[in-house]
Amino acid sequence: MAATGNIYGEQVATVAATGNIYGEQVATVAATGNIYGEQVATVAATGNIYGEQVATVAATGNIYGEQVATVAATGNIYGEQVATVAATGNIYGEQVATVAATGNIYGEQVATVAATGNIYGEQVATATSTASRSLPWPLPATAAGHDQR
């Protein structure tokens, strides 16, 4: 670890900035953003990359999910099988259950966040985090504040 961030997971190469790297087959963090997930290439801006087979972040936005190419603006891209957002936080990735606070859930087989941190990966249960992050765009009108893709 060459910076203040943490490295978790398998086959992680290098942290070259203050961000954290989690997950599998992560290459390099070249900015202050975080890289999570599988087969992530490079962060070239301040945004975060999450998920699988993500190429590049070329702006301040985030990329989440699978087979996402490029974010060229400040918007976010989200992944698959997201259950419910019950607060102002976002849920990304696969098989995510519920966000019960303003924090985010990411990662693999994570149980609970009881502090201000984030949860990353797959098969996530519940976040009770106070980490603040608002939804980037209006969700479908199935229920107030719920994204049930």
Q: How far apart are CA 144 and CA 141, in angstroms?
A: 7
Q: Which of 28, 25, 19, 55 is nearest to 37 (CA)?
A: 25
What's the sign of the alpha-carbon dihedral 9, 39, 140, 81? Answer: negative
pLDDT at 14: 38
Q: Which residue has the higher pLDDT, 135 or 34?
A: 34
Q: What is the mean pLDDT of residues 6-28?
A: 40
**pLDDT by residue (tens digit) across 111-130?**
333 333 344 433 333 333 33
Q: Strands, DSSP E only, in the chain?
A: 14-15, 24-29, 38-43, 56-57, 70-71, 82-85, 96-99, 112-113, 124-127
**pLDDT by residue (tens digit) across 60-83?**
344 444 333 333 333 334 433 232
pLDDT at 135: 38
> At residue 99, what are phi and psi to the nearest 5 degrees?
-105, 120
Q: How far is the CA of 84 from the CAs of 78, 92, 145, 146, in angstroms?
A: 13, 10, 8, 5
**pLDDT by residue (tens digit) across 26-40?**
434 433 344 444 434
pLDDT at 143: 45
User: How many C-beta neighbours within 10 Å does residue 133 have?
Assistant: 16
pLDDT at 113: 34
Strand order, beta sheet including 24-29: 14-15, 24-29, 38-43, 56-57, 70-71
Task: Assign 109 a pLDDT band (cuts: 50, 70, 90).
Answer: very low
Mean residue pLDDT of the chain comes to: 38
Q: How far apart are CA 70 and CA 29, in angstroms?
A: 16
Q: How far apart are CA 73 and CA 61, in angstroms?
A: 6
Q: What is the mean pLDDT of residues 104-112?
A: 36
